[in-house]
Structure 1
Amino acid sequence: KTKIWLLDHNYNLWGRAICELDDQKVSRITKSIAWHGYLGSPELVRKVAAAHPDAEMYWTEGGPDITDPKYLTDWSKWSRTFTGILRNGMRCIIAWNVTLDEQGKPNIGPFPCGGVVTVHSGNHEVTRSGQYWGFAHFSRHIQRGAVVIDSHAEA
């Protein structure tokens, strides 16, 4: 079944999500919100959940910074990021820019994102980002229909 997801933007626009869901014309059609992780923090979506407990939240975008020297090895950062996403009520984590070149191209956004994997334009070598390894770890252990158990320890 096809669903319409509202917003598809950063956490810092949580107020806009509440306003949209407050509109009965909108909430009759959808109660789903897509979030990006570039600005703000996943804790902000709790404000939306408090105002609209029946809202469905999805994390649809947040790529690794290709200019970060730890781009290939920052898997623990992505583990913390994914844990925060799930702890704050989002139902899924979707990769953005699965494959880009070593310059983060093609990328039309304002952030210097790399792909989950990089295909080097000169030799077609594939390298895996820290985000790749974060996804690898989580996807090995989380099955469809899994339930998030409330926790408060650092990942």
Structure 2
Amino acid sequence: LAINPKIKILGSPWSPPLWMKTTYDARGGMLKPECYQAYAKYFVKYIQEMKKEGITIDAVTVQNEPLHPGNNPSLLMVAPDQALFVKKNLGPAFEKAGLKTKIIVYDHNADRPDYPISILDDPEARKYIDGSAFHLYGGKIEALTDVHNAHPDKNIYFSEQMVVERPGATGINITGPVRRLIIGATRNWSRNVLEWNLAADPENKPFTDRGGCPTCQGAVTIDKDNVSRNIAYYSVAHASKFVRPGSVRIASNELTDLSNVAFKTPDGKRVLIVANTGKEQANFNINYNGSTSQPTYQQLQPVPDYSNPQYITIGNPDLKPEFSNSLSSISACISQSCNGT
């Protein structure tokens, strides 16, 4: 925040205090009904105390992965219980405290769109809820559109996905995560894309026992004074460099092997992200406002020419040349002036 005060913070609890749980264990169990109100006060206190430290909590999810009690820590919270907690305890507690922090429900895989839909179908709960959040360890990304269609007045968020490099990979290929997450989530109404682990050591530590993730590589690997950027870093950087906060998704047609998504930035520029999922190099036309251009996929040019008002970037400008030939995703910025800053 000292470097970029515009960063928005999302809080996501993995477990209530153990004395509030039916198992008295960090792993699994359910929230005791008699503890609902006390737990709502914990949320309020957390937000207020963070504010005292200069940290504004923009939003909270009610529970991380509420249908996965095997993680450590974790909590099983079925949809009716989450709806009850929001409408009778958490929502009123936020309202009484005058908090503007958004409440986001679900925060789990796309294979259970019925979970957030059922909560949003409850008018008492819905009035306190900003939207629902998703992961993609199960289900299809198109389920986000199903939830949007059921409640178009509520926001959709993509809040987690582990992205790691294949063992033995000789380069960084960001096509997969760009297609599945950056393009897939935003084409299905998500307002954001969050991945998973930000930083870890060379052994992917630290992680918890009894359900922690020993394979969850960080976006960066920190080895003493050395920092290595990994596939999760580049897949997010590939979009975030050009799709700035406040951008709005605009329409673009769908092609079989050229997954894509387009945005209009706050300063009026248009950004197109394309992932070539085919086995061959592909040429395509960009038609915009009656004019047509044909970008060229430049495999051997890892650093784009930012002086060109219409440029293509392969990954991030920090990519080393030996990685560039394994990338098959591009971003095109179409405007009178677009410098990539």
Q: TM-score, normalised to structure 2's length?
A: 0.42
Once superposed, what is the RMSD of the aligned Cα atoms?
Answer: 2.1
Q: Is the CA contact (8 Å cut-off) linking 1:64 and 1:129 kept in structure 2?
A: no
* Partner in structure 1 of residue 53 of structure 2: none
Percentage identity across paired residues of the two chains: 32
Change (3 A) 1:72 1:13: farther
Change (3 A) 1:42 1:80: same
2:221 is aligned with 1:141: no
> Using the alignment, how far apart are the partners of 1:50 and 1:66 within structure 2?
34
The structure number with the bigger radius of gyration is 2
Q: Is the CA contact (8 Å cut-off) linking 1:64 and 1:71 kept in structure 2?
A: no
Tell me the alpha carbon deviations over residues 60-103 of structure 1, each in whole angstroms, 9 at most, x when there is no partner: 11121366444961322221121111100000112321001223
* Partner in structure 1 of residue 123 of structure 2: 24
Q: Give the drift of 1:37.
A: 2.0
Higher mean alpha-carbon deviation, 89-98 vs 60-69, is at: 60-69
**Using CA pairs below 8 Å that are at least 6 residues apart, which structure has the higher relative contact order?**
1
Amino acid at match of 1:102: P
The SS at the match of 1:4 is strand
Of the candidates 194, 197, 204, which is equivalent to residue 97 of structure 1? 197
> Using the alignment, how far apart are the partners of 1:17 and 1:69 within structure 2?
39
* Partner in structure 2 of residue 43 of structure 1: 142
* Partner in structure 1 of residue 217 of structure 2: 114
> Using the alignment, how far apart are the partners of 1:66 and 1:9 within structure 2?
23
> Using the alignment, how far apart are the partners of 1:92 and 1:68 within structure 2?
28
Higher mean alpha-carbon deviation, 108-117 vs 6-15, is at: 108-117
* Partner in structure 2 of residue 60 of structure 1: 159
The SS at the match of 2:217 is coil
Q: TM-score, normalised to structure 1's length?
A: 0.87
Change (3 A) 1:54 1:88: same
Aligned residues: 153
Change (3 A) 1:131 1:41: same
Tell me the alpha carbon deviations over residues 32-54 of structure 1, each in whole angstroms, 9 at most, x when there is no partner: 11111221221111111111111
> Using the alignment, how far apart are the partners of 2:156 and 2:170 within structure 1?
27
> Using the alignment, how far apart are the partners of 1:21 and 1:70 within structure 2?
43
Q: Give the drift of 1:124.
A: 4.3
2:101 is aligned with 1:2: yes
| Structure ranking higher in helix proportion | 1
